[in-house]
Structure 1
Amino acid sequence: MDAPVMYLFGCAAPPVHYIDHAIRGAQADGWEVCLGLTPTAEAWLGGRLPELAELTGRPVRSSYRQPGQPDVWPPASVVVVAPATMNTINQWALGITGTWVVGVVAEAIGKAIPLVAMPCVNEAYAQHPQFEQSLATLRGARVRVLYGPGGFVPNKPGQGRPEAYPWHLALAAARESLAT
């Protein structure tokens, strides 16, 4: 039997610098991992992209392929968006598909592909009224949102610990999504 395929999408939040931990954890659980990044996250990890591509065995993607080009990734069994910024969460909930990552996850809702999102925002961002509305919209669209107790808990601005981001929670939720 082929390994299930996880699309792991990282956004430009500090834990993205540790996304290799999530990749290795998912691979240890038997996943084939395809890594996608928002354009800013791609810029942050620029020098590490070859290493990450080698780790996954697939090209790291951040933009749409050209019409007529074959897709270099297998179909997803699950899509995990972590760390998910306020910007990505809000765009996704509002259907603003200006980036490839948001376009893929917006379409995945309609394709009924299991989706897991784990935000990474500080307490100040979390106070914005659109953020809670966006989380509710995504939950209403059957996206498993790991935020608050049992998920990512916001920190005070400037007091984050990106190395302690709870990747294991996103990986566990992805595993659970295959059982349902």
Structure 2
Amino acid sequence: MTPSTLYLFGSAAPPLFDVAKVIEAAQADGWDVCLGLTPTAARWLDGSLDGLAVLTGHPVRSTYVLPGEPDVWPGADVILFAPATFNSINSWALGLTQDFVVGVAAEAVGKGVPTVTVPCVSAAYARHRQLDRSVVELREQGVTVLYGEDGFAPEAATDKTWDAALAAAKWRLTGAA
């Protein structure tokens, strides 16, 4: 049986440094993981990208392919975008797709690919009213957003946050945790 494919996307926020552990947890749960990063997140993990590619068995991507180039990843069954920064959440909700991972996440809404996100923002950004507007917009488009009323405090992400995010991705695919 072919494993389900999880696109694990991340922005440049401190929980990103746990991404190898998250990949291993997802793989232990049977996922085929493809890692995509915003350009800044890729810069943060620059020294680890080759190892992360070996870990996932797929190239780590942070840019769009050029026209005519084949896509080297299998199709996504589920997308988990975590951590998702203030910029990524707002860009996604507004349909601004300059970054590869934001573009794929935005397109996933239109394709009906189950998608989960965990915003990771500072307390100051959390008070900016655009964040709440963007969270509402993404939820209205069918994205599971683990933030606010769900009781998550992403700026203090823990293994429990990652476990909940992976469980939400599994639930979006199968209806069971």
Q: Which residue of 1 aligns with 2:117?
A: 117
Alignment of 1:86-97 (within 5 A): 86-97=86-97
Unaligned stretches of 5+ residues in structure 2: none
Unaligned stretches of 5+ residues in structure 1: none
Normalized against structure 1, the TM-score is what? Answer: 0.93
Secondary structure of 2:80's counterpart equals strand
CA distance, structure 2, for counterparts of residue 101 and residue 165 of structure 1? 24
Q: Which residue of 1 aligns with 2:60?
A: 60
Alignment of 1:119-134 (within 5 A): 119-134=119-134
Secondary structure of 2:18's counterpart equals helix
Q: Which residue of 2 aligns with 1:3?
A: 3
Out of 150, 155, 171, the position equivalent to 1:176 is 171
Normalized against structure 2, the TM-score is what? Answer: 0.94
Q: Which residue of 1 aligns with 2:103?
A: 103
Secondary structure of 1:166's counterpart equals helix
Aligned residues: 175
Q: Deviations over 1:70-118 (max 9, x none)?
A: 1100000000000000100000000011111111011000000000000
The yes-or-no answer on 1:167 pairing with 2:143 is: no
CA distance, structure 2, for counterparts of residue 67 and residue 61 of structure 1? 16
Secondary structure of 1:103's counterpart equals helix
Q: Deviations over 1:117-164 (max 9, x none)?
A: 001112211000100000000000000000135453155xxxx4x565
Query: Contact 1:10/1:38 (CA < 8 Å) preserved in 2?
Result: yes
Q: Deviations over 1:19-53 (max 9, x none)?
A: 11110110000000000000000000000001100
Secondary structure of 2:136's counterpart equals helix
Q: Which residue of 1 aligns with 2:141?
A: 141
Structural RMSD (CA): 1.4
Q: Percent identity?
A: 55
Runs of 4+ residues deviating >2 angstroms: 148-152, 162-165
Cα gap change, 1:85/1:34 in structure 2, threshold over 3 Å: closer, same or farther?
A: same
Name the one with the larger helix percent: 2
Alignment of 1:18-97 (within 5 A): 18-97=18-97
CA distance, structure 2, for counterparts of residue 172 and residue 154 of structure 1? 16
